[in-house]
């Protein structure tokens, strides 16, 4: 589901493919992420990840982030 985290968030695709949907100035954008790709969600970035089949993603965020 679409969400906004309390802090910054970093996604690293370790295996598979992910479509990262995010909103930029009210417009939906999609970044196609493959192995080794990184997506950075700054504070206030509304986003949602859609794995395309099996995928492993490392997510780095502040402890307790919502």
- Domain contains 48: no
- Domain contains 55: no
Q: What pLDDT, on the 0 to 100 scale, is given for residue 66?
A: 63
Share of the chain above pLDDT 90, in %: 74
- Domain contains 53: no
Can you give the residue range of the structural domain that contains 2?
1-34
- Domain contains 58: no
- Domain contains 44: no
Q: What pLDDT, on the 0 to 100 scale, is given for residue 5?
A: 85
Nearest Cα neighbor of 38 from 60, 10, 19, 2 is 10
Report residue 62's pLDDT band, with 50, 70 and 90 as the boundaries: confident
Nearest Cα neighbor of 50 from 15, 21, 14, 13 is 21
Q: By mean pLDDT, which of 1-5, 14-18, 48-52 is the weakest?
A: 1-5
- Domain contains 6: yes
């Amino acid at each position: 589901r679409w969400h906004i985290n309390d802090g910054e968030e970093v996604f690293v695709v370790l295996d598979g493919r992910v479509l990262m949907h995010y909103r930029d100035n009210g417009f939906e954008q999609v970044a196609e992420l493959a192995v080794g790709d990184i997506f950075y969600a700054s504070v206030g970035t509304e986003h949602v990840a859609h794995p395309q089949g099996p995928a492993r993603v490392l997510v780095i965020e502040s402890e307790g982030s919502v």
